Amino acid sequence: MDYADSRPGVWRLGRLLAIGLIALTPLACGKGGPEMAKVTGKVTYKGQPVPKGTITFAAIDKNGRNATGAIQPDGSYTLQTEDPGDGAQLGEYNVAIAARDEEILDYTPPKPIPPKRLVPEKYERPQTSGLTKKVERGTNKFDFDLVD
Q: How confident is the model at residue 62 (pLDDT cuts 50, 70, 90)?
A: confident
Q: Is the pLDDT of residue 91 over 80?
A: yes
**CATH fold of 36-142:** Immunoglobulin-like (2.60.40)
How does pLDDT run across 11-36, given as a tens digit for each residue? 555 554 556 555 554 444 445 788 99
In this structure, the number of other CB atoms found within 10 A of the CB of residue 37 comes to 18
Dihedral sign for Cα 70, 120, 124, 96, please: negative
Q: What is the pTM of this model?
A: 0.74
Return d(Cα 25, Cα 20) in angstroms, integer: 9
CA 42 to chain centre: 16
Higher pLDDT, 14 or 106: 106
DSSP class per residue in 84-147? TT--EESEEEEEEEE-EEPPPPSS--SSPPPPEESS-GGGGSHHHH-EEEEE-SSEEE--EEE-
Q: Cα–Cα distances in Å, from 44 out to 1, 27, 147?
A: 83, 43, 9
Q: Which residue(s) pair with 59 in the sheet?
A: 93
Return d(Cα 2, Cα 18) in angstroms, integer: 23
What 8-state DSSP symbol labels residue 75? S
**Beta-carbon-side half-sphere exposure of residue 131 (alpha carbons within 13 Å):** 21
